[in-house]
Structure 1
Amino acid sequence: MKSTQLHKPLISIAMCTYNGREFLEEQLDSIVSQTLAEWEIIIVDDCSSDETRTILNAYAERDVRFKVYSNDQNLGYNKNFEKALQLCQGTFIAICDQDDIWRKDKLEVQFNAIGDNQLIYHDSEFINQSGAPLDYRMSDKFNFYRGSDPEVFLYFNCVSGHSIMLKSVVVKAALPFPEDFHYDQWLAYNATLLGSIDFVNQPLVRYRQHQNNKTDVLALRSVSKSADRKIVELRKESEWLLLCSEKATGKSKYLITKLYNLSLLRNKSFASVAYGMVIWANKDTLLRLLKKSTISKFFFTLRKIWGSQAKKLI
């Protein structure tokens, strides 16, 4: 028998699935076990060819809080999450991957902590494909950030999608999601434009790492990049800066527009020392998330200087 009908969900959970049979039930069980029960879960399946939809439909039969949608054609990771987030009815939205495991009080802890912030995220514990701990947390990789400086998210992102709870107004402000860029970084950026973000310094999710992860946080699939690929990435960097500058206001807009214009000069020439100088002058903000020594940040800045002639340096 289905559980009692909900009329106005307090929290929406947005999940996207694609051939997720292997880990899906363990994740769904961790959601059902949440200490906070006033939620709906919006699941959009992106044309799975395995038993994913069968599993989802079985949960939906047992629990009215489950709302399952199936795409007619594959939308891809970013656009599928854009669709799922727009289907959410809650004032608060938590984002969920198909292969992790939630701590039982994840929703309750984040809901109690979000306060006046537009978005709140949390630390995560990495596990391997079998669920064994890797003795490594997201906070070991990045410096976490709380505040309202959008420039922090220009070059790095510490806000993983699976860790996000946000207010629905952030989703509205972020639409449409830009193509070929990480949706979670875009949401974090837009949240800081609207107000502040904060984090919970606890691992509320066991974050599974395997070869099919969409985001290769631990570089499990890292391969050497060709010169042509590096040039494409330089151009994408400029596109990202343009997107961010168009949304920004005040001092942030001035800085981001300056970085965008200098990146274009960098792309056309051998190098742009000016681009690197602006990054370095603002390193306390632009490189804040980089959990490296000052000298490592300096070398990161040097790498940003090289332009389309980087091909000749290899």
Structure 2
Amino acid sequence: MPLLSIVLPVYRVQAYLRECLDSILEQTFTDFEVIAVDDCSPDHSGAILDEYAARDSRVRVVHLEHNVGLGEARNAGLGHAFGRYVWFVDSDDWLAPGALAAIADRLRTAEPDVLVVDYAKVWWDTTTRHSKLSALVASANFPRTFTLAEQPRAIRIFHVAWNKVYNRDFLLKHDITYPTGLYEDVPVGYPVLMLADRISVLDRVCVYYRQRRRGAITSTPGRGHFQVLDQWDQLFERLDAIGERAAPFRNLVFERMLYQLLLVLENPERIARSDRKEFFRAIVRAYRRHVPAGGYQFPAGWEGVRHQVAARGSWTQWRALHNGLQLAGAAKPRLLELRNQVRLRTRLNMLYYRFQLRRPMDEQLAVYSAYWGKGYACNPRAVYERMTELAPGVRGVWEIKPGAKAEVPAGVETVTIGTRAHYRALARAKYLITNVNFHNWVAKRDGAIHLSTNHGTPAKAMGVDQLKFPAGLGDLDMDKLLRRSDRWTYSISPNAYTSEIWERAYPCNYETLETGYPRNDELVNATAADVAAARERLGLEPGQVAVAYLPTYRDYEFGRDALLNVESFADRLPAGTVLLVRVHHFDRSHVPADHPRILDVSDHPRVEDVYLAADMLITDYSSVMFDYAVLDRPIAIYAADWDKYRATRGAYLDVFTEGPGVATDDENELADMFVSGAVTGPAATSARALFRKRFCHLDDGHASERVVRRVFSDEALATAAAVVVPRQRVRQNADAII
């Protein structure tokens, strides 16, 4: 029998589940089991649990056939637990290092019925705030163990499940289980303190309580939040059943009820504006239903004022009070916002845009953009071309920077950025599609659909995750980035790995379309004629072996030795080999123009031509490795600044252990790999096969069709083929380099 059973209910937490599990399994204390309950989660959470259980015997997974909610999932986990103590941990939170050892020590020495542990709140922007437990402990001077009768101030301890470790026999003796619905902690958190003969408090942060920006159930407006009233009713019924032991605490519990109900009412992320009056009336009824028989003494200060308004039952007074505070708090930010808008665009243009927003939305207009209007490319291009086939009634228009129109094929309609036609199109279109983000000032109209196609599989830290690496953050305004991302209706993901990362890196309310990348359809469906045409467009001669070098952009200070010395490297390649060099579009690195074996393709409008033409690829941390792997051709990783890059910019993928082929940080060794044939050898081929299985299984040539049917026809997302069968006809003479 383990000392501790950690019950982990899991539902829609794929972005955070690995961090939670790792924080548990990497603890120095090991006498525990994890009962992970997959509450019929619709994302990849169940598969992640199975993956961990397969490699760690301490993890047992219970897959529920139907979604039952957090409370019932905890109950199901408790039914499978064998530990002397049980800890219900939320699967989007994580444990502090050393937490389990400290908890185990207290459990063994104090033998409590309930052990309360401390926590810290952590917001998406890495802001951290310690809980109020330490202040409560210091002011109350709690002994090592106590009862609630001895320390009534302990009733103010946060009533959630995850900050308490329970003696399993104590739970079974008192038949303590969690109810269904939201706010399931309410009917349990208070009674357990009243019933416990031995309470202990561990004044040490053991849990990091994640404050999600978007996606948490408690941060989603809806009628479900009315369930909090039912949970408080259940609590008072339990107090009646407990009887005399609960009687001294009814006033304190009543105060806690009003505090939480008013907090829920005032939170726009929980109660919609249209439901506020009804919810307030329900609070008034709860007040009258549960007010203590001897009367209720209002707390001091602002909290007491709020409670008095509820006691009077005056919706008019509450609305006046609440709206007055809102206006005072919102005035200054609104003035700043208006000032910034004037700075972004001329007042005349912005007024014109706002005017167009008031006109009817064009249900058949879609505005496309790639790389901030630089051209006709990437995932938006693939979606556009398939849209013209499958949704011909929709008119597609591309926003293009001044001077970039020449790169758009004839017949494709464009609007030049900054013109009246551009403002009008952005204001009136139902569909806005881009692989980056539209301008800050673009508004999302009711009923409009914004599609973020994205433009790569992330190897380096992105979005919110970049906040952990401030040295590489530069002048990125994260709040503005997330407000732009808040407009997304859909976000395209090429694989499960990326879906997990996007959900965490861009915590906004969008639907993930895990379809594969539309732009890769061209690679999957390419024929030998397509490859020959791409080589011709790049100026390659028949029989030449092409090695592409596509490094990523470094957004921090780095030495020139971080990049490949393309001249010396090209000199060491066998005769008949050409090095295609394409630097990142943010980079201004010099590429020699007169070397006979180097072809600068940085300005070539289509990277897909480079992929098709190249027999092999050299890259570092760029997402091009994921796209090129679709072709099943040799890939080499040259990562000379790996340690600095990982520490400064952050990385999700270890390119040396999880990469698609050979990898090195030494330029001479890289050249030797090409000369010796290691780049095409068995080890490299095996690594590439594993890489493709993990990242390319959705690339079946139909990704753009799946996206178009979901976005423009509102069809359910179709399932892609499980495995990509390599297309031998698109492979070039890769072995000729040996």
| Shorter-chain TM-score tier | 0.7 to 0.9
Distance 2:203 2:79 in 1: 28
* Matched-pair contact (CA < 8 Å) for 2:120–2:129: yes
Aligned position for 2:116? 121
Change (3 A) 1:310 1:194: same
Deviation readout 1:175-218 (Å, 9 max, x if unpaired): 342344644444432332132323222212222111233455xx
* Matched-pair contact (CA < 8 Å) for 1:57–1:68: yes
Q: What is the CA RMSD across the aligned residues, in angstroms? A: 3.9
Aligned position for 1:206? 208
Change (3 A) 1:26 1:234: closer
Distance 2:290 2:203 in 1: 38
Distance 2:217 2:184 in 1: 12
Change (3 A) 1:179 1:97: closer
Q: 1:164 is aligned with what amino acid?
A: K
Change (3 A) 1:141 1:255: closer
* Matched-pair contact (CA < 8 Å) for 1:122–1:199: yes
Aligned position for 2:78? 85
Kindly indicate whether residue 296 of structure 2 is the aligned counterpart of residue 279 of structure 1. Answer: yes
Following TM superposition, by how much is the alpha carbon of 1:301 offset from its aligned partner in structure 2, in angstroms? 4.1
* Matched-pair contact (CA < 8 Å) for 1:234–1:267: no
Change (3 A) 1:51 1:201: same
Kindly indicate whether residue 31 of structure 2 is the aligned counterpart of residue 31 of structure 1. Answer: no
Aligned position for 1:295? 301
- Secondary structure, in 3 states, of the residue corresponding to 1:279? coil
Aligned position for 2:247? 253
Following TM superposition, by how much is the alpha carbon of 1:19 offset from its aligned partner in structure 2, in angstroms? 2.0
If you compute each CA radius of gyration, which structure gives the higher value, 1 or 2? 2
- Secondary structure, in 3 states, of the residue corresponding to 1:278? coil
Kindly indicate whether residue 68 of structure 2 is the aligned counterpart of residue 69 of structure 1. Answer: no
Deviation readout 1:38-91 (Å, 9 max, x if unpaired): 111101101112221211111111111111011100001111112112221111
Q: 1:49 is aligned with what amino acid?
A: P
Following TM superposition, by how much is the alpha carbon of 1:300 offset from its aligned partner in structure 2, in angstroms? 4.8
Q: 1:252 is aligned with what amino acid?
A: A
Change (3 A) 1:239 1:100: closer
Aligned position for 2:99? 106
Deviation readout 1:65-120 (Å, 9 max, x if unpaired): 11101110000111111211222111111221112221221112122224142111
Deviation readout 1:136-168 (Å, 9 max, x if unpaired): 1222798468643388688x6514333221110
Equivalent of residue 20 in structure 1, options 13, 23, 26? 13
Aligned position for 2:176? 175
Distance 1:33 1:298 in 2: 46
Distance 1:142 1:310 in 2: 35
* Matched-pair contact (CA < 8 Å) for 2:147–2:199: yes
Kindly indicate whether residue 46 of structure 2 is the aligned counterpart of residue 53 of structure 1. Answer: yes
- Secondary structure, in 3 states, of the residue corresponding to 2:15? helix
How many residues were matched structurally?
Answer: 277
Q: 1:305 is aligned with what amino acid?
A: A
Distance 2:154 2:32 in 1: 30
Q: Aligned runs of 1:185-224 on 2, under 5 Å?
A: 185-192=186-193, 193-210=195-212, 211-215=214-218
* Matched-pair contact (CA < 8 Å) for 2:88–2:162: yes
Which ranges of structure 1 fall in alignment gaps of 5 or more residues? Answer: 1-7, 284-293
Equivalent of residue 242 in structure 1, options 229, 237, 241? 237
TM-score (norm 1): 0.72
Give the % identical residues.
Answer: 18
Instruction: Report which stretch shifted further, 166-175 or 100-109.
Output: 166-175
Distance 1:65 1:77 in 2: 22
Change (3 A) 1:212 1:198: farther
Change (3 A) 1:268 1:49: closer
Distance 2:289 2:19 in 1: 50
Where do 4+ consecutive residues of structure 1 move more than 6 Å?
Answer: 150-154, 271-274
Q: 1:100 is aligned with what amino acid?
A: D
Following TM superposition, by how much is the alpha carbon of 1:127 offset from its aligned partner in structure 2, in angstroms? 1.8
Distance 1:125 1:166 in 2: 20
Change (3 A) 1:162 1:256: closer
Change (3 A) 1:201 1:157: closer
Change (3 A) 1:141 1:245: farther
Distance 1:57 1:238 in 2: 38
Change (3 A) 1:209 1:68: same
Deviation readout 1:222-276 (Å, 9 max, x if unpaired): x7x99xx88x866654443122221x2325337649x99xx99x7399x699749
Q: 1:128 is aligned with what amino acid?
A: W
* Matched-pair contact (CA < 8 Å) for 1:101–1:207: yes
- Secondary structure, in 3 states, of the residue corresponding to 2:78? helix
* Matched-pair contact (CA < 8 Å) for 2:68–2:180: no
* Matched-pair contact (CA < 8 Å) for 1:92–1:167: yes
* Matched-pair contact (CA < 8 Å) for 1:119–1:188: no
